[in-house]
Chain A
Amino acid sequence: MSFNFSAPATEDTEADSAPVVTIDKPEHVTKTERGEPVTFLEAIAEALFEEMVRDGHVFLLGEDIGVYGGAFKVTKGFIDHFGSERIIDTPISEAGFTGAAAGAAHMGLRPVVEMQFMDFISPAYDVITNYIATSLYRGSGPMPVVIRGPVGGGNRGGPFHSQNVEMAFFHTPGLKIVYPSTPYDAKGLLKAAIRDDDPVIFEEHKGLYRAPQLREVLPTEDYVVPLGKARQVREGSDITLVTYGMMVHRSVEAASTLQGEDGVSVEILDLRTLLPLDDEAIMDSVRRTGRLLVVHEDTRTGGIAGEIAMRVNEQAFEFLDAPILRVAAIDAPVPYAGTLEDYFLPQTHDVVTALRYLARY
């Protein structure tokens, strides 16, 4: 019996360094308190920062989120405020640090995991679906874990920096899935997700992160947007359009075209939370319009449109005057070339075409 001294000498490593607070607040989380409009990305950063200040149990972990500030700089400067014990730079190991987040949640903390790109959540699929999503049911306690990160195409990111991952998790009972489309909702929903005792997958469309036209002034007081509630983006009487994320904005453009050129009134619902689905809001609208189009950026087969159509079929069939239709990405990996990617993604004209088809039906 002897020790095998393969370990290096135990000098202090970065992982061991004590937290040092060197700045009061990163500049990009101060805009709301200064009354300035914020981008989608800044809204998310404000939500994270404010939740960490509000609740000492909240901490972040992920790749390059500390000194570097994250691939998209969401957490820039956070490590200088909160220290390396609450802003944890991890090894490249999505499964490992997501599992570690689960352990921290068992101990009463509220970890927020950043996936550098949500495409990289796949290695953590096992621990998310088999462990985190089942914990409460198995009697192992609640799992207040948020797993957030950038999703979505249109940025010429190619197959591994462009995916939407919602439907990989939609089929897993025990998870919640959130996908905001505006700075206001992003901030309020992320705060609600962090305060929620169930595990939440939180998708942030990177095409919205810095979109200048989305900048808005947010309330200076603390607020949350409740999970599980859709938002009526536009009131209408002829067709219900259910969508989320980037496609909310494409749909608004299309609805304006229909109103202006065809005199057709389109009601738009932004789901905001995909799981649990807000059936009530969908049915209320469909019962009034009798027509439903579902638009999602995610690929077509196995997309959320199928589930929504089934639920309408179950709950509001006799109110329908036309078949339920969908506009979605083609069933392919996300291609790199601009010509290919633009063809792959649903465009505004696709939504216009579908709405006109439904209006005439």
Chain B
Amino acid sequence: MNDPARADGPRLAADLGKSDLLELYEYMALARAAEDRLEIMLKQGHVKGGLYRSLGQEAVGVGSAFALDRRVDGTGDMIAQTVRTTGAIFLMGGTPLQYFRQYLARSTGPTRGREANVHWCDFRKGLLGPVSPLGTMTQVMAGITLVFKQTGQPRVGLAYAGDGQTSTGAWHEGLNFAAVRRCPFVAIVQSNKYAFSTPIRLQTRLASFTGKAAGYGIESRSVDGNDVLEVFEATRDAVARARDGGGVTLIEARTYRRLGHAQHDAQEYVPREEIEEWERKDPIGRFRERMVREGWALESELDALDVAARERCEKDAERAIQEPAPDAEEAVQRVYEGLITSVPWTRLPEPTPRGAAI
């Protein structure tokens, strides 16, 4: 929420007005629409790499990122996103068009085809793109928030983890560093029951990831990750405390990964009834039902947001599909600042190994 005062009309829930509530719904719908569109493009053969979805987890990314000071000039809060926080990326200012270009490895994409899925940075929008060993991101965000603190910038960093990341030494070292230095840092563990195929009981002895907080001397809170307002309120409080010099908070968002780790994973290790149970707890369906029941919005208003999200994604996807792949020779560029990696000598116009230096 950039400016709490901008809420129009009465505060309806969680100190939010109608336009805020509609925006929460809109971004969850946009995340789902973008990923749905991506699946179509995968089947059409446009997506070559893995496809990772946040289906059923949209409330975590959207509810938490909504609590941040979101700006597009490099002075706002930051997130370390993951493939399970598509909605947060869009809320921070990343666009479905960028998202499609990146997945399709287009030369127009944020990494010009060097990296996959949501692995891209845009510091102006507060996006810290991940690397695959995700524990690293907690360390890097610890350093970013250290700078916020040491330089007196009133900014907060939020790093998302899955339940698997909490088992890594990297997560521990990053969180401990941030805790010791009392960095303005919010760690959100999306507890979605599986890390690839490994269930939580094989990841930790704890009943709740909040139990880890005591080991770092930080505060913690566990929330229903499929309730966007509960996620929002918990994050808002943690962000306020972080901005106020109160240090690190760990938030466990209890949710569920309704599809496999990626599209190639048929989820055979999961009982069908378990997935069905969580389909009934769908965060978008729940929020929609509540908004109508409480009189916060009309069905028709929400329908319009769904349609707009789908149309936007369809249009952006078609545009991304038309755009070119990067030129092959770009592979040697930008390994170093001001140094070009040598091209394979067998590809020189007149092949000679004499130019084999870096």
A residues near B (Cβ < 8 Å) are 1-8, 10, 13, 15-16, 59, 85, 88, 90-91, 93, 95-109, 111, 123, 126-127, 130-131, 134, 136-142, 173-174, 176, 196-198, 275-277, 279-280, 311, 314-315
Interface residue from B129, B132, B219, B223 paired with A1 (Cβ < 8 Å) = B223
B residues near A (Cβ < 8 Å) are 110-112, 114-115, 119-121, 123, 128-129, 131-133, 136, 138-148, 150-151, 169-170, 172-174, 176-177, 180-182, 210, 213-214, 217-223, 230, 233-234, 245-247, 334-339, 341, 345, 353-354, 356-358
- CB of B336 within 8 A of CB of A136, answer yes
Q: How far is the CA of A106 from the CA of B148 in the complex (A)?
A: 12
- CB of B139 within 8 A of CB of A3, answer no
**Taking the nearest CB of chain B, how far is it from the CB of A108, in angstroms?**
8
For A101, the chain B residues whose CB sits under 8 A away are 143
For A138, the chain B residues whose CB sits under 8 A away are 111, 114-115, 119-121, 129, 131
Q: Which 10 A-B pairs have the closest CB atoms?
A: A99-B139, A103-B143, A96-B173, A100-B143, A103-B144, A93-B173, A139-B111, A103-B140, A107-B147, A279-B357
For B336, the chain A residues whose CB sits under 8 A away are 136, 174, 176, 198, 276
Q: How far is the CA of A221 from the CA of B9 in the complex (A)?
A: 66
**A–B Cβ pairs within 8 angstroms, 23 of them:** A3-B221, A4-B220, A7-B217, A7-B219, A8-B217, A10-B182, A95-B139, A95-B169, A95-B170, A96-B142, A96-B176, A99-B139, A100-B140, A100-B143, A100-B146, A106-B123, A107-B148, A138-B111, A138-B120, A142-B337, A198-B336, A198-B337, A314-B353
Q: How far is the CA of A275 from the CA of B336 in the complex (A)?
A: 11
Q: How far is the CA of A85 from the CA of B213 in the complex (A)?
A: 25
A-B contact count (CB 8 A): 189
Further 5 A-B residue pairs, CB within 8 A, beyond A7-B219, A95-B169, A109-B147:
A7-B247, A91-B173, A96-B170, A99-B136, A105-B143
For B143, the chain A residues whose CB sits under 8 A away are 99-107, 111
- CB of B170 within 8 A of CB of A127, answer yes
- CB of B136 within 8 A of CB of A130, answer yes
CB within 8 Å for A103 and B141 given contacts A93-B176, A96-B176, A136-B336? yes
- CB of B177 within 8 A of CB of A10, answer no
Q: How far is the CA of A13 from the CA of B245 in the complex (A)?
A: 12
For B358, the chain A residues whose CB sits under 8 A away are 275-277
Most B Cβ at <10 Å: residue of A16, A100, A105, A134: A100
For B338, the chain A residues whose CB sits under 8 A away are 197
**Taking the nearest CB of chain A, how far is it from the CB of B208, in angstroms?**
9
- CB of A15 within 8 A of CB of B176, answer no
- CB of B176 within 8 A of CB of A131, answer no
Q: How far is the CA of A169 from the CA of B233 in the complex (A)?
A: 45
Smallest CB gap from B153: residue in A: A107
- CB of B144 within 8 A of CB of A107, answer yes
Interface residue from B115, B133, B245 paired with A139 (Cβ < 8 Å) = B115
- CB of B356 within 8 A of CB of A91, answer no
CB within 8 Å for A99 and B170 given contacts A7-B219, A136-B337? yes
For A197, the chain B residues whose CB sits under 8 A away are 337-338
For A105, the chain B residues whose CB sits under 8 A away are 143
**Taking the nearest CB of chain B, how far is it from the CB of A124, in angstroms?**
9
Most A Cβ at <10 Å: residue of B133, B139, B180, B233: B139
**Taking the nearest CB of chain A, how far is it from the CB of B92, in angstroms?**
15
CB within 8 Å for A130 and B354 given contacts A4-B220, A99-B173? no
